[in-house]
Amino acid sequence: MKYLEEAKAIEEEIIANRRYVHQHAEIGLDLPVTKTFVMEKLKEMGYEPQDCARGVVALVGGKKPGKVFLLRADMDALPIQEEGDHEFKSETGSMHACGHDMHTAMLLGAARILKQHEDEIEGTIKLMFQPAEESLLGAIEMVEAGILENPKVDAAAFVHVFSGMPLASRSVIMPEAGSNFSAADWFEIHVQGKGCHGAMPNTGVDPLNVITHIYQALQSIHAREMPTGASLALTMGQLHGGAVSNVIPDTAFMSGTIRTRDESVRAFVLKRIEEISDGIARTFRAEATVKFPTQCPAMASDPVMVDQVKELLPQILSEDQILDLGEKSGIFKTGSEDFAHVSTRVPAVFLALGAGNSEDGYEYPLHHPKVFFDEGAMPVGTATYVGVAMEWLKKYK
C-alpha cells in the first residue's frame, strides 16, 4: 500500500492543482491556460514535457530496460455554466462537469511520485495529457501526432471518476473485459430543396417535409431493423430549417449521434442512415447529403490486461477499495470515450474511480451543472496510476 500512502502525503497538492484547473475550465482542443499550468508543474518536478499536437507528453523512467506503459488524463471541460456553490467555482463560464480536472490533478500527482521512483521503473512510463475528449477529437489528434511512438507504447491505462452513482466512493471499479464504452458517430443530414412562397408550395420542394420524413424513418432502424437486444442509441439532437412562417425554405438540416458497441451494428446503421436519407429525399424531388464529422470506435479493455491489472490492484489498494462489477460494469457503456483511439492500437484498460456515492449526498451525475466530486478519492486515483504502471512493467516484462 506504499503508493497510496505516498499519494495521501501529497493530497493537499493534488487538491490545489485540481481546484486551479477547475476554476480555469477550458473547452475543446485549445486549452492555453490548462496546458501551460500542466507543463509548468511538470517542469517543476524535473520533467521535460513536450507538445504533442495540442496536448502534452512527458516521459519518466528509461534508466532500466523494459517496456513502455502509457497513462492518460484528459484536460478539457464542458460548455456548461456551473450552478454549484463552493469556493473554487469555475470563473470561465465552462465547467469540469465530467471530472477531467480531477484526472489531470491525479496524473500530476502520479508524475510527482513516479519522478521520486524513477530509478526503480523497469522500463518507461509515458504521461499523456490530452485536450478535447468531450468532442472526441483530442486522442486521435495526439495518436496521429505520434503519442504511441518514440518510444513505442506497449500498454496503456486511464482512470475515470464517477459521481452520483451507487458506487462506493474512494474505490476502484474493475470493469469486465471487452467494450466498456460505446462507439460514437456524429452525423449531419443536409437537405436541399427549392424555396418558394408559402402560398404556392407547388412551385417549390419543401425540405422541411423531407427532413421530417427522414426523422421519422430513422426511428425504424432500431425498432424494425435491429435484432432484439441489440445495443443502439440513435438520437437526433438538432432539427433546423426556415426563418419565417410564410416562406418555404431552400434547405433544412438535422444532426444527431449514434452509439453502438458492436462494429457490425455500427457499420449497418451508418449505411442505413445514408440509404434512408437519400431514398426519401429523392422520393420528394430533393437531395440529401449525409456527413459523419466525428467518429470514434468503441473503447475496449483488453482481456489479458484486465486479468493482469486485477492481479496487481491488491498490491496498490486494500481489498475493500477494489470492486469487480463483472457484467454490471455495463452501466458505463452507454457513454463514449475517445481513449478508444488508443485501445484499438495497443492493449489498454479502463478503471473507474468512485468519487461521490449517490447515497452519501453526491446526488448529481456527470455532465450536470451541479455535479460535485469527493476530492478524497483523488489520492486513490493517483496511487492507481502509479501502482498499475510500475507493477505492470515489473511483472510483465
CATH at 190: 3.30.70.360
What span, in angstroms and rounded, lies between the C-alpha atoms of 87 and 324? Answer: 35
CA 212 to chain centre: 32
Looking at residue 210, its pLDDT comes to 98
Domain boundary among 264, 296, 328: 296
Q: What DSSP designation does 167 have? A: S
Q: Are 231 and 182 in contact (CB under 8 A)?
A: yes
Question: If we measure between CA atoms, which residue out of 72, 50, 244 comes closest to residue 160?
Answer: 72
378: its cell numbers: 483523488
CATH at 158: 3.40.630.10
Beta-carbon count within 10 A of 319 CB: 7
Question: If we measure between CA atoms, which residue out of 67, 44, 72, 69 comes closest to residue 56?
Answer: 72
41: its cell numbers: 508543474
* CA distance between the termini of the chain: 22
What's the mean pLDDT when you consider all of the chain?
95
Looking at residue 8, its pLDDT comes to 98
Q: Are 288 and 306 part of one and the same domain? A: no
Domains contained in the chain, number: 2
Domain boundary among 296, 321, 355: 296
| φ, ψ for residue 61, nearest 5 deg | 100, -145
- Assign 3-state DSSP to the chain and report helix, strand, coil percentages, each to 5: 40, 25, 35
Least confident span in 35-49, 184-198, 219-233, 337-351: 219-233
Q: What's the pLDDT tens digit per position in 236-262?
A: 999 999 999 999 999 999 999 999 988
Q: What is 24-66 written as a DSSP string?
A: T---SS--HHHHHHHHHHHHHTT---EEETTEEEEEEE-SS--
What span, in angstroms and rounded, lies between the C-alpha atoms of 304 and 324? Answer: 16
Could you give the count of Cα atoms lying within 13 Å of 145 in the half-sphere of its Cβ? Answer: 17
Q: Are 249 and 332 part of one and the same domain? A: no
Q: What's the pLDDT tens digit per position in 63-104?
A: 999 999 999 999 999 999 999 889 999 999 999 999 999 999
Looking at residue 189, its pLDDT comes to 98
pLDDT at 176 over 80: yes
Q: What is 280-311 written as a DSSP string?
A: HHHHTT-EEEEEEEEEEPPEEE-HHHHHHHHH
Q: Are 291 and 303 part of one and the same domain? A: no
Looking at residue 127, its pLDDT comes to 98
Q: Are 127 and 176 part of one and the same domain? A: yes
Q: Are 62 and 139 part of one and the same domain? A: yes
Looking at residue 207, its pLDDT comes to 98
Report the pLDDT averaged over residues 32-50: 98
Domain boundary among 240, 265, 296: 296
Q: Are 164 and 240 part of one and the same domain? A: no
Q: Are 303 and 175 part of one and the same domain? A: yes
Helix axes 2-9, 100-116, angle to 10 degrees: 110
CA dist 267 to 60, 169, 179, 340, 343, Å? 40, 38, 16, 17, 19
Q: What's the pLDDT tens digit per position in 156-165?
A: 999 999 999 8
Q: Are 287 and 227 part of one and the same domain? A: yes
What span, in angstroms and rounded, lies between the C-alpha atoms of 69 and 128? Answer: 11
Beta-carbon count within 10 A of 246 CB: 7
- Residue ranges with strand state E in the chain: 50-52, 55-61, 67-74, 123-130, 155-162, 172-175, 178-181, 183-192, 196-197, 232-241, 247-248, 251-260, 287-296, 299-301, 322-326, 348-354
Beta-carbon count within 10 A of 169 CB: 22
Q: Are 174 and 234 part of one and the same domain? A: no
Q: Are 141 and 162 part of one and the same domain? A: yes
Report the pLDDT averaged over residues 270-297: 97
Looking at residue 230, its pLDDT comes to 85
Looking at residue 331, its pLDDT comes to 62
Q: What DSSP designation does 358 have? A: G
Looking at residue 332, its pLDDT comes to 66
Q: What's the pLDDT tens digit per position in 319-378?
A: 999 988 765 555 666 789 999 999 999 999 999 999 998 888 899 999 999 999 999 999
Looking at residue 329, its pLDDT comes to 58
What span, in angstroms and rounded, lies between the C-alpha atoms of 258 and 189? Answer: 13
Helix axes 11-23, 2-9, angle to 10 degrees: 60
What is the residue range of 217's domain? 183-296
Q: Are 133 and 17 part of one and the same domain? A: yes
Looking at residue 253, its pLDDT comes to 98
Beta-carbon count within 10 A of 21 CB: 27
Q: Are 166 and 216 part of one and the same domain? A: no
